[in-house]
Amino acid sequence: MDKLPKATELLKKLPKAREVLKKVPKLPDFPDPPSLKKFVTAKLKFAPDVSAVQPGIPPYCDGLVLTPRDSFLREVCRKLIGVEVCYGELGCFTTDPPWSLTLERPISSLPRPPEEIQVQFLLRTRNTPSTGEFIRAGDRAALAASDFIGTRPTKFITHGFIENGFVAWITDMSQEILRADDCNVIAVDWGSNGGSMFPYTQATANTQIVGAIVAQMITFLMQETGNSASSYHLIGHSLGSHTMGYAGMRVPGLGRITGLDPAEPYFQGTDPMIRLDPTDAELVDVIHSDGGFFFTSLGYGMYDPTGHLDFYPNGGIEMPGCDEGLTHYIDMNGGIYEGGREYVACNHLKAIVYFHDSINSICPMMAYPCRDYDRFKDGHCLDCRQGCAQMGYHADKYKPAPGLTNLKYYLDTAARSPTCLYHYQVMITLGTDSDAEEVDGYLHLSFVTQSGTVTEYYKLTDDPIKLQPGNSYMYFLKLPTNLGNLQRVRFLWDYDWSIANPSTWFIFSRPKIWMDRIQVMAGESQNRMSFCAFNNYFVEDVASDLRLC
């Protein structure tokens, strides 16, 4: 093979590559362009022909493997030329832009051959929830002997980086789904033979071929059983989210893909063909739990919306329960590996926890459309007239209008399972009176349910506020229990006074405020309740009941 013409084409592109790679942190230093050109030209001239050993890899690039610097130059060579490899009916894969040589993906790899990754499919049904049985695309005998029933809905679940299809969370989630529905649940393993392992760039490349193999399996099942693409639901965590996106690209009419904190590095900000996006299925719902920028806060997940429905629990960046020390997680998980994993990637893993908790939860994990999380925290977004959606397994109960994508929903969760919370907006309207005056204080509220149960007092204000006659004050409560319909509310306030400030002293009487009403709105039920005080006054540190009006 004449290598010098190829080398000439490569060298024409090197200055452009140098400019791109300058912007990428922590890459080896480049020599000046003239010396780089001379160095590469010399190596290419004597490059051995290894195309028979590595089909699809141009030999003039592999001839650069002599030193660590040569290895890096070989990667540059391969990316500049636009390497392609084909794997039969699975199709061809390339490192041409946008798959490489972009700011988001400065250097990429080609996916490993399918025989190296050895993707496995473990089928579980209600008859085999613990053991499962392996099936393979094209193996009609194994499928016929299995418990797969084409009339049932089918769920695929897959893992992300440095995991495999037999990790505990996939088994637990599969069994939890089977408790909820009589369906086929198929765990996808692409990590047992190293497909999901280091380096990360190789694992990201492997997701493409794994997605193609998942699509191949779905097509086989559809052909053998006659079921429709709409009956398939693909669930993936981290890199697995994008893996399922690649599968969806190949299966027209696929019913649903759920992305559990889709991986950020090499995906956020890329072309939609690179990452999970709304065109990959009829419904794409995404839980964002670790959306901090990777290079500044080690956020492993995407923050950008990437589905039809994008859920941001607790704002999508920092999750409750993820601020403990390493020993806490080791104790909680019963082992160094499991504890260390949660310590390093707690926020990233919370998306799995939330989805798992949602499957059989009585609490609906209702999420609310809102401009941003700050506005949601202030209690402004509990109204569902514009459409609310459930985060997690039951997200498909809400159907967004055709053409609408990247709809953002917010909710809060608890630090530990069960993580679902109920959301309440409380509006307190003070009354007016000739004796009423502005005071500083703290507000507390308790609820009395229809059954007569009295809740604890919830502190509405951490800091004292100015209570001005006639003003309204809105608060946001998140509770682990559903209060249902209420008989009454119990109100208590504390006066804030200072011994150093005589103007706050009430010498001859206790301070009072006048109350008009308290309104409570339950987000999950959309029930609105008003409790009237009829402009009566409330003495500080004395509990008073308000009844429905």
Tell me, yes or no, whether 437 and 505 share the same domain.
Answer: yes
Question: How many domains does one find in the chain?
Answer: 3
449-465 mean pLDDT: 94
pLDDT category at 328 given cuts 50, 70, 90 is low
The contacts of residue 97 (CB under 8 Å, 6+ apart) are 82
Residue 61: its H or E element = helix 59-62
- Residue at 21: amino acid letter: L
Residues 274-290: tens digit of each pLDDT: 999 999 999 999 999 99
Mean per-residue pLDDT over the chain, rounded? 86
**Is residue 529, in this structure, part of any structural domain at all?**
yes
Q: Is residue 44 part of a domain?
A: yes
Binding residues for Ca(2+), as ranges, are 275, 277, 280
Res 264 pLDDT > 70: yes
Q: Write out the binding residues.
A: 275, 277, 280
Say whether pLDDT at 136 is over 90: yes
What percentage of the chain has pLDDT greater than the value 90? 71
In a shared domain, residues 219 and 273: yes
Within a domain: 13: yes
Same domain, 180 and 126: yes
Same domain, 170 and 266: yes
Residue 374 lies in a domain: no
- Give the pLDDT score at 48: 36
Q: Which of 32-41, 311-320, 485-494 has the lowest mean pLDDT?
A: 32-41
Q: Angle of helix 4-22 relative to helix 33-45, nearest 10 degrees? A: 140
Give the residue numbers marked as catalytic: 238, 261, 348
Which CATH number do you get for residue 202? Answer: 3.40.50.1820
Q: Determine the pLDDT at residue 34.
A: 42
pLDDT above 60: residue 38: no
Query: What burial class does residue 285 get, using C-beta atoms within 10 Å of its C-beta: 0-12 exposed, 13-18 middle, 19+ buried?
Result: buried
- pLDDT for position 54: 39
**Domain encompassing residue 231:** 114-362
Which residue has better confidence, 67 or 445? 445
Whether residues 43 and 82 share a domain: the answer is yes
143 pLDDT higher than 80: yes
Give yes or no for residue 362 having a pLDDT over 90: yes
Within a domain: residue 20?
Answer: yes
Residue of higher predicted confidence among 341 and 193: 193
Residue 15 has pLDDT above 80, yes or no: no
Let me know if residue 304 belongs to a domain: yes
Residue 369 lies in a domain: no
Q: Which region holds residue 323: left if phi is over 0, alpha if psi is between -120 and 50, else beta?
A: alpha
To which residue do tokens 């059983």 refer? 225
| Residue 327 covered by a domain | yes
Q: How confident is the model at residue 96 (pLDDT cuts 50, 70, 90)?
A: confident
Write down the pLDDT at residue 270: 97
Q: Residue 480, preceding bond cis, omega within 30 degrees?
A: no
Residue pLDDT, tens place only, 208-227: 999 999 999 999 999 999 99
Say if residue 125 is in the same domain as residue 233: yes
Sign of dihedral through CA atoms 359, 365, 366, 367? negative
pTM exceeding 0.95: no
Per-residue model confidence (pLDDT) at position 145 = 97
Looking at 94, 126, 154, which one is the last position of a domain? 94
Do 448 and 535 lie in a common domain?
A: yes
Q: Residue 39: pLDDT above 50?
A: no
**In this predicted model, which residue has the larger pLDDT, 13 or 130?**
130
Phi-psi region of 470 (alpha: psi -120 to 50; beta: other; left: phi over 0): left
Q: Are residues 14 and 145 in the same domain?
A: no
CA 155 to the chain's CA centroid: 18
Mean pLDDT of 364-385: 96
Average pLDDT over residues 8-31: 43
Which percentage of the chain shows pLDDT scores above 70? 78
Whether 148 and 50 map to the same domain: the answer is: no
Q: How far apart are CA 53 and CA 411, in angstroms?
A: 53
Which CATH number covers residue 479?
2.60.60.20
- Let me know whether 235 and 159 are in one domain: yes
- Residue 22: pLDDT over 50: no
Higher-scoring residue by pLDDT: 36, 494: 494
Quick check: 518 and 476 in contact, CB under 8 A?
no
Together in a domain, 73 and 136: no
Q: What is the pLDDT of residues 475-519, one digit of tens each?
A: 999 999 999 999 999 999 998 876 655 555 565 457 899 999 999
Q: Does residue 322 sit in the same domain as residue 290?
A: yes
